[in-house]
Protein backbone atom coordinates (compact mmCIF):
# COMPACT_ATOMS: atom_id res chain seq x y z
CA UNK A 1 0.00 0.00 0.00
CA UNK A 2 1.12 3.57 -0.50
CA UNK A 3 2.96 5.12 2.44
CA UNK A 4 1.16 8.40 1.89
CA UNK A 5 -2.21 8.95 3.56
CA UNK A 6 -5.32 7.93 1.65
CA UNK A 7 -6.97 10.70 -0.25
CA UNK A 8 -9.66 10.03 -2.78
CA UNK A 9 -8.45 12.63 -5.21
CA UNK A 10 -4.86 11.40 -5.11
CA UNK A 11 -5.93 7.81 -5.58
CA UNK A 12 -8.04 8.70 -8.57
CA UNK A 13 -5.28 10.78 -10.14
CA UNK A 14 -2.59 8.15 -9.60
CA UNK A 15 -4.87 5.45 -10.95
CA UNK A 16 -5.54 7.41 -14.12
CA UNK A 17 -1.90 8.42 -14.46
CA UNK A 18 -1.04 4.74 -14.37
CA UNK A 19 1.59 4.83 -11.65
CA UNK A 20 -0.04 2.40 -9.27
CA UNK A 21 1.21 -1.18 -9.10
CA UNK A 22 -1.25 -3.86 -10.22
CA UNK A 23 -2.59 -4.72 -6.78
CA UNK A 24 -3.35 -1.14 -5.88
CA UNK A 25 -4.91 -0.44 -9.26
CA UNK A 26 -7.24 -3.40 -8.77
CA UNK A 27 -8.14 -2.09 -5.31
CA UNK A 28 -9.08 1.29 -6.76
CA UNK A 29 -11.27 -0.45 -9.31
CA UNK A 30 -12.97 -2.36 -6.56
CA UNK A 31 -13.44 0.75 -4.47
CA UNK A 32 -15.04 2.49 -7.43
CA UNK A 33 -17.79 -0.09 -7.43
CA UNK A 34 -19.16 1.19 -4.16
CA UNK A 35 -17.78 4.69 -4.03
CA UNK A 36 -19.37 6.81 -6.76
CA UNK A 37 -17.36 9.84 -5.72
CA UNK A 38 -14.15 7.94 -6.41
CA UNK A 39 -15.54 6.84 -9.76
CA UNK A 40 -16.40 10.42 -10.62
CA UNK A 41 -12.98 11.61 -9.52
CA UNK A 42 -11.43 9.03 -11.84
CA UNK A 43 -13.59 10.30 -14.72
CA UNK A 44 -12.54 13.87 -14.04
CA UNK A 45 -8.86 12.96 -14.04
CA UNK A 46 -9.28 11.04 -17.25
CA UNK A 47 -10.69 14.15 -18.85
CA UNK A 48 -7.96 16.38 -17.39
CA UNK A 49 -5.02 14.24 -18.47
CA UNK A 50 -6.25 12.89 -21.79
CA UNK A 51 -4.84 15.77 -23.87
CA UNK A 52 -1.35 14.52 -23.00
CA UNK A 53 -2.07 11.50 -25.15
CA UNK A 54 -2.45 13.62 -28.25
CA UNK A 55 1.30 14.15 -28.20
CA UNK A 56 1.70 10.53 -29.19
CA UNK A 57 2.02 9.83 -32.87
CA UNK A 58 -1.02 7.98 -34.27
CA UNK A 59 -0.18 4.65 -35.90
CA UNK A 60 -2.48 2.76 -38.23
CA UNK A 61 -3.32 -0.53 -36.56
CA UNK A 62 -3.00 -3.84 -38.40
CA UNK A 63 -6.12 -4.77 -40.38
CA UNK A 64 -6.55 -7.96 -38.38
CA UNK A 65 -7.54 -6.00 -35.27
CA UNK A 66 -10.77 -4.78 -36.82
CA UNK A 67 -11.42 -8.22 -38.24
CA UNK A 68 -11.07 -9.71 -34.76
CA UNK A 69 -13.34 -7.07 -33.26
CA UNK A 70 -15.98 -7.75 -35.88
CA UNK A 71 -15.71 -11.45 -35.37
CA UNK A 72 -15.85 -11.24 -31.59
CA UNK A 73 -18.88 -8.99 -31.66
CA UNK A 74 -20.60 -11.25 -34.16
CA UNK A 75 -20.64 -8.70 -36.95
CA UNK A 76 -20.73 -9.98 -40.51
CA UNK A 77 -18.64 -8.00 -42.97
CA UNK A 78 -21.66 -7.03 -45.06
CA UNK A 79 -23.57 -5.60 -42.12
CA UNK A 80 -20.88 -3.08 -41.30
CA UNK A 81 -21.62 -1.18 -44.49
CA UNK A 82 -25.39 -1.22 -44.01
CA UNK A 83 -26.94 2.06 -43.02
CA UNK A 84 -28.74 2.08 -39.74
CA UNK A 85 -32.31 3.28 -39.70
CA UNK A 86 -31.54 4.95 -36.40
CA UNK A 87 -28.18 6.44 -37.24
CA UNK A 88 -27.64 9.90 -35.84
CA UNK A 89 -28.00 12.51 -38.57
CA UNK A 90 -24.42 13.65 -38.20
CA UNK A 91 -23.11 10.16 -38.66
CA UNK A 92 -25.07 9.72 -41.86
CA UNK A 93 -23.71 12.93 -43.32
CA UNK A 94 -20.25 11.78 -42.58
CA UNK A 95 -20.83 8.49 -44.41
CA UNK A 96 -19.85 7.78 -47.98
CA UNK A 97 -22.83 8.34 -50.30
CA UNK A 98 -22.50 4.87 -51.82
CA UNK A 99 -23.53 3.27 -48.54
CA UNK A 100 -26.92 4.90 -48.53
CA UNK A 101 -28.13 2.29 -51.02
CA UNK A 102 -27.91 -0.49 -48.45
CA UNK A 103 -31.06 -1.73 -46.75
CA UNK A 104 -31.59 -0.60 -43.16
CA UNK A 105 -29.38 -2.40 -40.69
CA UNK A 106 -30.78 -4.84 -38.21
CA UNK A 107 -30.27 -3.60 -34.71
CA UNK A 108 -28.41 -6.51 -33.29
CA UNK A 109 -27.70 -5.71 -29.69
CA UNK A 110 -30.13 -6.52 -26.91
CA UNK A 111 -31.46 -3.57 -24.92
CA UNK A 112 -28.70 -1.88 -22.98
CA UNK A 113 -28.71 -1.90 -19.23
CA UNK A 114 -29.40 1.48 -17.68
CA UNK A 115 -26.23 3.35 -16.82
CA UNK A 116 -25.46 3.05 -13.15
CA UNK A 117 -24.75 6.42 -11.70
CA UNK A 118 -21.17 6.93 -10.71
CA UNK A 119 -19.67 3.79 -12.22
CA UNK A 120 -16.98 4.29 -14.80
CA UNK A 121 -18.32 2.96 -18.08
CA UNK A 122 -15.64 0.41 -18.72
CA UNK A 123 -16.16 -1.40 -15.49
CA UNK A 124 -19.25 -3.20 -16.72
CA UNK A 125 -17.45 -5.81 -18.63
CA UNK A 126 -13.94 -6.64 -19.52
CA UNK A 127 -13.36 -8.64 -22.62
CA UNK A 128 -11.95 -12.09 -22.30
CA UNK A 129 -8.28 -12.49 -23.01
CA UNK A 130 -6.10 -15.47 -23.59
CA UNK A 131 -3.94 -16.52 -20.66
CA UNK A 132 -1.96 -14.10 -18.60
CA UNK A 133 -4.04 -11.00 -18.15
CA UNK A 134 -5.24 -9.11 -15.20
CA UNK A 135 -8.25 -9.87 -13.04
CA UNK A 136 -11.10 -7.54 -12.27
CA UNK A 137 -12.47 -7.82 -8.79
CA UNK A 138 -16.11 -7.72 -7.88
CA UNK A 139 -16.27 -8.97 -4.35
CA UNK A 140 -17.24 -6.30 -1.85
CA UNK A 141 -15.18 -5.93 1.32
CA UNK A 142 -16.47 -8.04 4.19
CA UNK A 143 -17.97 -5.11 6.07
CA UNK A 144 -20.50 -4.60 3.30
CA UNK A 145 -22.05 -8.06 3.49
CA UNK A 146 -24.66 -6.85 5.93
CA UNK A 147 -25.19 -3.45 4.42
CA UNK A 148 -28.55 -3.52 2.67
CA UNK A 149 -27.82 -0.24 0.95
CA UNK A 150 -24.90 -1.85 -0.77
CA UNK A 151 -26.93 -4.81 -2.01
CA UNK A 152 -29.69 -2.56 -3.23
CA UNK A 153 -27.14 -0.64 -5.17
CA UNK A 154 -25.35 -3.56 -6.70
CA UNK A 155 -27.99 -6.20 -7.22
CA UNK A 156 -29.67 -5.82 -10.56
CA UNK A 157 -32.77 -7.45 -11.84
CA UNK A 158 -32.54 -9.62 -14.88
CA UNK A 159 -29.10 -10.04 -16.28
CA UNK A 160 -26.76 -9.05 -13.44
CA UNK A 161 -23.85 -9.61 -15.73
CA UNK A 162 -24.22 -6.13 -17.07
CA UNK A 163 -23.42 -4.57 -13.72
CA UNK A 164 -20.29 -6.32 -12.63
CA UNK A 165 -18.38 -9.05 -14.33
CA UNK A 166 -15.06 -10.45 -13.41
CA UNK A 167 -12.75 -12.06 -15.93
CA UNK A 168 -9.53 -13.81 -15.23
CA UNK A 169 -7.05 -15.91 -16.94
CA UNK A 170 -4.50 -17.32 -14.60
CA UNK A 171 -3.89 -20.65 -16.10
CA UNK A 172 -0.47 -22.12 -16.13
CA UNK A 173 -0.87 -25.23 -14.03
CA UNK A 174 0.64 -28.22 -15.75
CA UNK A 175 -2.06 -30.80 -16.32
CA UNK A 176 -3.01 -33.40 -18.88
CA UNK A 177 -5.38 -32.59 -21.72
CA UNK A 178 -8.66 -30.84 -20.96
CA UNK A 179 -9.59 -27.35 -19.86
CA UNK A 180 -9.26 -25.58 -16.61
CA UNK A 181 -9.42 -22.16 -15.06
CA UNK A 182 -9.06 -20.36 -11.78
CA UNK A 183 -12.09 -18.55 -10.41
CA UNK A 184 -10.83 -15.69 -8.37
CA UNK A 185 -11.55 -12.50 -6.53
CA UNK A 186 -9.04 -9.91 -5.53
CA UNK A 187 -9.49 -9.77 -1.81
CA UNK A 188 -7.17 -12.68 -1.27
CA UNK A 189 -4.32 -13.42 -3.57
CA UNK A 190 -4.88 -16.73 -5.31
CA UNK A 191 -7.95 -18.58 -6.37
CA UNK A 192 -11.25 -19.16 -4.72
CA UNK A 193 -12.12 -22.17 -6.85
CA UNK A 194 -10.31 -24.27 -9.38
CA UNK A 195 -12.46 -25.40 -12.24
CA UNK A 196 -11.49 -28.29 -14.46
CA UNK A 197 -13.12 -30.33 -17.14
CA UNK A 198 -13.24 -34.07 -16.62
CA UNK A 199 -12.78 -36.74 -19.28
CA UNK A 200 -16.50 -37.59 -19.03
CA UNK A 201 -17.38 -34.01 -20.01
CA UNK A 202 -18.37 -32.80 -16.58
CA UNK A 203 -16.92 -29.70 -14.95
CA UNK A 204 -15.50 -30.03 -11.47
CA UNK A 205 -15.29 -27.08 -9.14
CA UNK A 206 -13.04 -27.28 -6.08
CA UNK A 207 -12.90 -24.57 -3.44
CA UNK A 208 -9.35 -23.54 -2.67
CA UNK A 209 -10.23 -21.57 0.41
CA UNK A 210 -13.09 -20.94 2.80
CA UNK A 211 -15.79 -19.01 0.99
CA UNK A 212 -17.43 -16.15 2.81
CA UNK A 213 -21.14 -15.90 2.43
CA UNK A 214 -23.76 -13.84 4.22
CA UNK A 215 -26.70 -15.43 5.98
CA UNK A 216 -29.72 -16.40 3.85
CA UNK A 217 -27.74 -16.35 0.63
CA UNK A 218 -26.38 -18.97 -1.68
CA UNK A 219 -23.65 -18.80 -4.26
CA UNK A 220 -24.82 -19.99 -7.64
CA UNK A 221 -22.68 -21.08 -10.56
CA UNK A 222 -23.37 -20.04 -14.14
CA UNK A 223 -21.71 -20.99 -17.38
CA UNK A 224 -21.36 -18.64 -20.28
CA UNK A 225 -19.85 -20.26 -23.34
CA UNK A 226 -18.02 -18.01 -25.74
CA UNK A 227 -20.50 -16.06 -27.80
CA UNK A 228 -23.50 -16.99 -25.68
CA UNK A 229 -25.83 -14.19 -24.68
CA UNK A 230 -27.31 -15.73 -21.57
CA UNK A 231 -25.62 -17.54 -18.72
CA UNK A 232 -26.66 -21.13 -18.16
CA UNK A 233 -27.59 -22.01 -14.58
CA UNK A 234 -25.36 -24.71 -13.14
CA UNK A 235 -26.72 -24.83 -9.64
CA UNK A 236 -26.00 -23.68 -6.14
CA UNK A 237 -22.47 -24.31 -4.92
CA UNK A 238 -22.65 -26.64 -1.92
CA UNK A 239 -21.13 -25.73 1.41
CA UNK A 240 -18.52 -28.44 0.90
CA UNK A 241 -17.06 -26.33 -1.87
CA UNK A 242 -16.81 -29.28 -4.26
CA UNK A 243 -19.23 -29.51 -7.12
CA UNK A 244 -19.59 -31.61 -10.24
CA UNK A 245 -21.79 -30.34 -13.02
CA UNK A 246 -22.74 -31.71 -16.39
CA UNK A 247 -20.91 -30.16 -19.31
CA UNK A 248 -23.99 -30.19 -21.55
CA UNK A 249 -21.69 -30.38 -24.57
CA UNK A 250 -20.83 -26.71 -24.19
CA UNK A 251 -17.71 -25.56 -25.99
CA UNK A 252 -15.15 -25.39 -23.21
CA UNK A 253 -12.49 -23.18 -24.69
CA UNK A 254 -13.09 -19.67 -23.43
CA UNK A 255 -16.09 -20.74 -21.39
CA UNK A 256 -16.72 -18.31 -18.57
CA UNK A 257 -17.80 -19.52 -15.17
CA UNK A 258 -19.46 -16.96 -12.98
CA UNK A 259 -20.58 -17.04 -9.39
CA UNK A 260 -23.43 -14.83 -8.28
CA UNK A 261 -25.01 -14.16 -4.93
CA UNK A 262 -28.58 -15.39 -4.83
CA UNK A 263 -31.37 -15.99 -2.34
CA UNK A 264 -31.27 -19.30 -0.48
CA UNK A 265 -31.86 -22.09 -2.95
CA UNK A 266 -30.59 -20.12 -5.90
CA UNK A 267 -32.12 -17.72 -8.36
CA UNK A 268 -35.86 -18.12 -8.71
CA UNK A 269 -35.85 -16.75 -12.23
CA UNK A 270 -33.31 -18.85 -14.13
CA UNK A 271 -31.11 -15.81 -14.57
CA UNK A 272 -28.75 -14.18 -12.08
CA UNK A 273 -30.66 -11.86 -9.76
CA UNK A 274 -27.78 -10.93 -7.53
CA UNK A 275 -24.35 -9.45 -8.16
CA UNK A 276 -21.69 -11.54 -9.84
CA UNK A 277 -19.00 -11.94 -7.23
CA UNK A 278 -16.37 -14.10 -8.86
CA UNK A 279 -15.50 -15.31 -12.28
CA UNK A 280 -13.03 -17.21 -14.37
CA UNK A 281 -12.44 -18.48 -17.87
CA UNK A 282 -11.59 -21.96 -19.02
CA UNK A 283 -8.55 -22.38 -21.20
CA UNK A 284 -6.79 -25.41 -22.58
CA UNK A 285 -4.51 -26.86 -19.96
CA UNK A 286 -0.94 -26.61 -21.22
CA UNK A 287 1.58 -29.17 -20.23
CA UNK A 288 4.63 -27.22 -19.08
CA UNK B 1 -13.60 14.24 -35.45
CA UNK B 2 -15.60 16.78 -33.48
CA UNK B 3 -16.33 15.90 -29.87
CA UNK B 4 -20.07 16.30 -30.35
CA UNK B 5 -20.02 14.04 -33.36
CA UNK B 6 -18.09 11.32 -31.53
CA UNK B 7 -20.60 11.49 -28.72
CA UNK B 8 -23.47 11.08 -31.20
CA UNK B 9 -21.75 8.12 -32.77
CA UNK B 10 -21.41 6.50 -29.36
CA UNK B 11 -25.11 6.98 -28.76
CA UNK B 12 -25.75 5.34 -32.09
CA UNK B 13 -23.55 2.43 -31.04
CA UNK B 14 -25.63 2.07 -27.91
CA UNK B 15 -28.58 1.51 -30.24
CA UNK B 16 -26.68 -1.15 -32.15
CA UNK B 17 -25.46 0.92 -35.06
CA UNK B 18 -22.46 -0.97 -36.42
CA UNK B 19 -21.67 1.63 -39.00
CA UNK B 20 -21.31 4.28 -36.33
CA UNK B 21 -18.98 1.93 -34.50
CA UNK B 22 -16.85 1.47 -37.59
CA UNK B 23 -16.68 5.25 -37.99
CA UNK B 24 -15.41 5.58 -34.47
CA UNK B 25 -12.85 2.87 -35.12
CA UNK B 26 -11.66 4.49 -38.32
CA UNK B 27 -11.19 7.88 -36.75
CA UNK B 28 -9.95 6.97 -33.28
CA UNK B 29 -8.03 3.72 -33.63
CA UNK B 30 -4.78 5.17 -34.96
CA UNK B 31 -4.42 7.49 -31.98
CA UNK B 32 -5.46 4.71 -29.63
CA UNK B 33 -3.13 2.19 -31.21
CA UNK B 34 -0.29 4.71 -30.99
CA UNK B 35 -0.98 5.19 -27.30
CA UNK B 36 -1.03 1.43 -26.72
CA UNK B 37 2.20 0.98 -28.65
CA UNK B 38 3.89 3.64 -26.61
CA UNK B 39 2.94 1.98 -23.35
CA UNK B 40 3.44 -1.66 -24.32
CA UNK B 41 6.32 -1.31 -26.83
CA UNK B 42 4.94 -4.45 -28.36
CA UNK B 43 2.71 -4.51 -31.45
CA UNK B 44 0.98 -7.73 -30.41
CA UNK B 45 0.11 -6.42 -26.95
CA UNK B 46 -0.89 -3.08 -28.41
CA UNK B 47 -3.19 -4.81 -30.89
CA UNK B 48 -4.76 -6.76 -28.04
CA UNK B 49 -5.23 -3.59 -25.99
CA UNK B 50 -6.87 -1.85 -28.93
CA UNK B 51 -9.14 -4.81 -29.59
CA UNK B 52 -10.16 -5.04 -25.94
CA UNK B 53 -10.79 -1.31 -25.69
CA UNK B 54 -13.11 -1.37 -28.66
CA UNK B 55 -15.03 -4.33 -27.34
CA UNK B 56 -15.54 -2.36 -24.16
CA UNK B 57 -16.49 0.72 -26.13
CA UNK B 58 -19.19 -1.21 -27.96
CA UNK B 59 -20.50 -2.95 -24.88
CA UNK B 60 -20.51 0.18 -22.75
CA UNK B 61 -21.38 2.83 -25.31
CA UNK B 62 -24.70 3.39 -23.56
CA UNK B 63 -22.94 4.29 -20.35
CA UNK B 64 -20.94 7.12 -21.76
CA UNK B 65 -22.44 10.38 -20.62
CA UNK B 66 -21.55 13.25 -22.91
CA UNK B 67 -22.23 15.72 -20.12
CA UNK B 68 -19.40 14.21 -18.11
CA UNK B 69 -16.70 14.82 -20.63
CA UNK B 70 -15.34 14.17 -24.08
CA UNK B 71 -15.78 10.85 -25.76
CA UNK B 72 -12.24 10.99 -27.05
CA UNK B 73 -10.86 11.10 -23.50
CA UNK B 74 -13.10 8.18 -22.57
CA UNK B 75 -11.83 6.07 -25.43
CA UNK B 76 -8.23 6.99 -24.71
CA UNK B 77 -8.72 5.88 -21.11
CA UNK B 78 -10.14 2.55 -22.23
CA UNK B 79 -7.10 1.71 -24.30
CA UNK B 80 -4.63 3.05 -21.73
CA UNK B 81 -5.99 0.83 -18.96
CA UNK B 82 -5.83 -2.22 -21.22
CA UNK B 83 -2.27 -1.39 -22.24
CA UNK B 84 -1.22 -0.72 -18.64
CA UNK B 85 -2.73 -4.05 -17.57
CA UNK B 86 -0.79 -5.81 -20.30
CA UNK B 87 2.55 -4.44 -19.25
CA UNK B 88 1.92 -4.80 -15.54
CA UNK B 89 1.22 -8.48 -15.95
CA UNK B 90 4.22 -8.89 -18.12
CA UNK B 91 6.61 -6.91 -15.89
CA UNK B 92 8.54 -5.34 -18.68
CA UNK B 93 12.20 -4.61 -18.28
CA UNK B 94 13.03 -1.07 -17.32
CA UNK B 95 16.03 0.33 -19.08
CA UNK B 96 18.08 2.00 -16.41
CA UNK B 97 21.05 3.12 -18.42
CA UNK B 98 19.04 5.71 -20.33
CA UNK B 99 20.18 9.17 -19.31
CA UNK B 100 17.43 11.22 -17.63
CA UNK B 101 17.37 13.70 -20.50
CA UNK B 102 15.90 11.00 -22.69
CA UNK B 103 13.28 9.92 -20.20
CA UNK B 104 10.66 12.25 -21.50
CA UNK B 105 9.44 14.20 -24.45
CA UNK B 106 8.15 17.01 -22.30
CA UNK B 107 9.37 19.88 -24.45
CA UNK B 108 7.88 18.25 -27.57
CA UNK B 109 4.81 17.25 -25.61
CA UNK B 110 4.06 20.80 -24.68
CA UNK B 111 4.35 22.21 -28.12
CA UNK B 112 2.46 19.37 -29.77
CA UNK B 113 -0.58 19.47 -27.53
CA UNK B 114 -3.58 20.29 -29.64
CA UNK B 115 -5.32 23.63 -29.70
CA UNK B 116 -8.56 22.69 -28.04
CA UNK B 117 -9.46 24.44 -24.82
CA UNK B 118 -8.82 21.44 -22.60
CA UNK B 119 -5.45 20.87 -24.11
CA UNK B 120 -4.49 24.51 -23.84
CA UNK B 121 -5.47 24.59 -20.20
CA UNK B 122 -3.44 21.47 -19.48
CA UNK B 123 -0.48 22.86 -21.34
CA UNK B 124 -0.64 26.10 -19.44
CA UNK B 125 -0.86 24.30 -16.12
CA UNK B 126 1.90 21.84 -16.96
CA UNK B 127 4.12 24.82 -17.58
CA UNK B 128 3.57 26.02 -14.04
CA UNK B 129 5.27 22.87 -12.76
CA UNK B 130 9.00 22.59 -12.32
CA UNK B 131 10.51 20.87 -15.35
CA UNK B 132 11.50 17.67 -13.52
CA UNK B 133 8.04 17.22 -12.00
CA UNK B 134 6.40 17.97 -15.31
CA UNK B 135 8.59 15.38 -17.00
CA UNK B 136 7.80 12.75 -14.42
CA UNK B 137 4.07 13.25 -14.81
CA UNK B 138 4.18 13.38 -18.60
CA UNK B 139 6.39 10.30 -18.71
CA UNK B 140 4.10 8.42 -16.36
CA UNK B 141 1.06 9.13 -18.50
CA UNK B 142 2.61 8.78 -21.93
CA UNK B 143 4.95 5.87 -21.30
CA UNK B 144 2.88 4.14 -18.67
CA UNK B 145 5.61 3.89 -16.07
CA UNK B 146 4.70 2.89 -12.55
CA UNK B 147 6.08 4.59 -9.43
CA UNK B 148 8.70 1.88 -9.12
CA UNK B 149 9.76 2.10 -12.76
CA UNK B 150 10.07 5.88 -12.59
CA UNK B 151 12.17 5.64 -9.45
CA UNK B 152 14.45 3.19 -11.21
CA UNK B 153 14.73 5.19 -14.41
CA UNK B 154 15.40 8.45 -12.65
CA UNK B 155 17.52 6.86 -9.97
CA UNK B 156 15.45 8.48 -7.27
CA UNK B 157 13.99 7.10 -4.05
CA UNK B 158 10.50 5.69 -4.47
CA UNK B 159 9.13 8.03 -1.81
CA UNK B 160 10.46 11.05 -3.63
CA UNK B 161 8.86 9.98 -6.92
CA UNK B 162 5.52 9.41 -5.22
CA UNK B 163 5.73 12.74 -3.49
CA UNK B 164 6.66 14.61 -6.68
CA UNK B 165 3.77 13.08 -8.51
CA UNK B 166 1.30 13.87 -5.76
CA UNK B 167 2.45 17.46 -5.49
CA UNK B 168 2.50 17.82 -9.24
CA UNK B 169 -1.02 16.43 -9.64
CA UNK B 170 -2.27 18.67 -6.82
CA UNK B 171 -0.82 21.73 -8.55
CA UNK B 172 -2.30 20.68 -11.87
CA UNK B 173 -5.72 20.24 -10.35
CA UNK B 174 -5.61 23.63 -8.59
CA UNK B 175 -4.43 25.29 -11.75
CA UNK B 176 -7.05 23.65 -13.96
CA UNK B 177 -9.79 24.69 -11.59
CA UNK B 178 -8.94 28.38 -11.79
The string of pLDDT tens digits covering residues B106-117 is 444 444 554 577
Exposure string over A236-270, b if 16+ CB within 10 A, otherwise e: bbeeebebebebeebebebbbbbbbbbeeebbeee
Task: Give the pLDDT confidence score for residue A188 in this predicted structure.
Answer: 40
From A206's Cα to the closest Cα of chain B, the distance in A is 26
Which chain B residues are within 8 Å of A43, Cβ to Cβ?
Answer: 68-69
Which chain A residues are within 8 Å of B11, Cβ to Cβ?
Answer: 88
Phi then psi for A40, rounded to 5 degrees? -70, -40
d(CA A126, CA A122): 7
Which chain A residues are within 8 Å of B79, Cβ to Cβ?
Answer: none
From B125's Cα to the closest Cα of chain A, the distance in A is 11
* Residue of chain A whose Cα is closest to the Cα of B69: A47
* Residue of chain B whose Cα is closest to the Cα of A58: B31
DSSP H stretches of helix in chain B? 3-14, 18-40, 43-60, 71-90, 106-112, 117-127, 131-143, 147-154, 158-177
Residue B18 pLDDT exceeds 90:
yes
Nearest residue to B139 (alpha-carbon basis) of A18, A47, A48, A57? A18
Exposure string over B44-79, b if 16+ CB within 10 A, otherwise e: ebbbbbbbbbbbbbbbbbbbbeeebbbbbbbbbbbb
**Interchain CB distance below 8 Å, B12 and A88:** yes
Express as a percent the part of chain B with pLDDT over 70. 83
CA atoms within 13 Å, Cβ hemisphere of B46: 22
Phi then psi for B174, rounded to 5 degrees? -60, -45
| Average pLDDT score over residue span B31-45 | 95
Task: Give the pLDDT confidence score for residue B76 in this predicted structure.
Answer: 96
Q: Which helix (H) or strand (E) holds A33?
A: helix A22-34
**Interchain CB distance below 8 Å, B162 and A132:** no
C-alpha separations of A196 from A175, A177, A211, A220 in Å: 10, 10, 19, 17
Task: Give the pLDDT confidence score for residue B137 in this predicted structure.
Answer: 93
Asked whether the beta carbons of A169 and A129 are under 8 A apart, the reply is yes
Residues with Cβ < 8 Å from A26, sequence gap 6 or more? A134, A135, A136, A137, A186
d(CA A23, CA B69): 28
For residue A112, the tally of other CB atoms under 10 A from its CB is: 17
* Residue of chain B whose Cα is closest to the Cα of A73: B55
**Interchain CB distance below 8 Å, B47 and A61:** yes
From A118's Cα to the closest Cα of chain B, the distance in A is 10
CA atoms within 13 Å, Cβ hemisphere of A38: 18
d(CA A15, CA A4): 14
> Which residues of chain A register pLDDT less than 70?
1-6, 76-177, 184-191, 212-215, 286-288
Task: Give the pLDDT confidence score for residue B108 in this predicted structure.
Answer: 47
Closest by Cβ to A10, choosing from B19, B64, B169: B169
Preferred mutation among B77, B87, B110, B172 to probe A, highest tally of A CBs within 10 A: B77
Q: Which of residues 41-100 of A touch B (CB under 8 A)?
A: 43-44, 46-62, 64-66, 68-69, 72-73, 75, 79-84, 86-88, 90-91, 94-95, 99
Positive or negative CA dihedral for A3, B144, B120, A45? Answer: negative
Closest by Cβ to B47, choosing from A43, A62, A132: A62
Q: Which of residues 6-45 of A touch B (CB under 8 A)?
A: 9-10, 13-14, 16-22, 25, 43-44
Q: Which long-range contacts (CB under 8 A, 24 or more apart) does B168-174 make?
A: B168/B129, B168/B133, B168/B134, B168/B136, B168/B137, B169/A10, B169/A13, B169/A14, B169/A17, B169/B137, B170/A10, B171/B125, B171/B128, B171/B129, B172/A48, B172/B122, B172/B125, B172/B126, B172/B129, B172/B137, B173/A9, B173/A13, B173/A48
Q: What's the angle, vertex CA B76, arms to CA A89 and CA B158, rounded to 5?
A: 165
Residues with Cβ < 8 Å from A202, sequence gap 6 or more? A244, A245, A246, A247
Please state the ipTM of this predicted complex. 0.85
Least confident residue range of A138-142, B17-21, B23-27 = A138-142
From B134's Cα to the closest Cα of chain A, the distance in A is 11
For chains A and B, CB pairs below 8 A equal 248
CA atoms within 13 Å, Cβ hemisphere of A177: 3
d(CA A44, CA A157): 29
d(CA B45, CA A6): 32
From B56's Cα to the closest Cα of chain A, the distance in A is 6
DSSP helix/strand/coil, B176: helix
DSSP helix/strand/coil, A275: coil
The pLDDT tens digits for B77-108 are 999 999 998 888 765 555 444 433 333 444 44
Residues with Cβ < 8 Å from A139, sequence gap 6 or more? A30, A185, A186, A187, A277, A278
Task: Give the pLDDT confidence score for residue B60 in this predicted structure.
Answer: 86
**Interchain CB distance below 8 Å, B169 and A115:** no
- Cβ–Cβ contact A113 with B under 8 A: yes
Residues with Cβ < 8 Å from A218, sequence gap 6 or more? A236, A237, A261, A262, A263, A264, A265, A266
Residues with Cβ < 8 Å from A40, sequence gap 6 or more? A118
Which chain B residues are within 8 Å of A62, Cβ to Cβ?
Answer: 43, 47
Asked whether the beta carbons of A276 and A161 are under 8 A apart, the reply is yes
Amino acid sequence: MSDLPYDREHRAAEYVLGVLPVGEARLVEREMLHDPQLAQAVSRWEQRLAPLASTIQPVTPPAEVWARIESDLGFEHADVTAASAEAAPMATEEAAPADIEEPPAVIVEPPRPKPVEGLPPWIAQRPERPAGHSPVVTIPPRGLWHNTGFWRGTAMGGLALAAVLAFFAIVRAPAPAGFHGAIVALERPGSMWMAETMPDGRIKLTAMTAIDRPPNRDLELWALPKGAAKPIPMGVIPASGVMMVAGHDMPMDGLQLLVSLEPMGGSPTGAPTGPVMYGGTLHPANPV
Amino acid sequence: MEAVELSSLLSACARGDRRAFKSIYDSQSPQMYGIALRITRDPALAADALHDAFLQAWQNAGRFDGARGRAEAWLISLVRYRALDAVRSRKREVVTDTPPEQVDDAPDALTAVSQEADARALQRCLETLEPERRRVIASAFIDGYSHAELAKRLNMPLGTVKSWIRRGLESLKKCLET
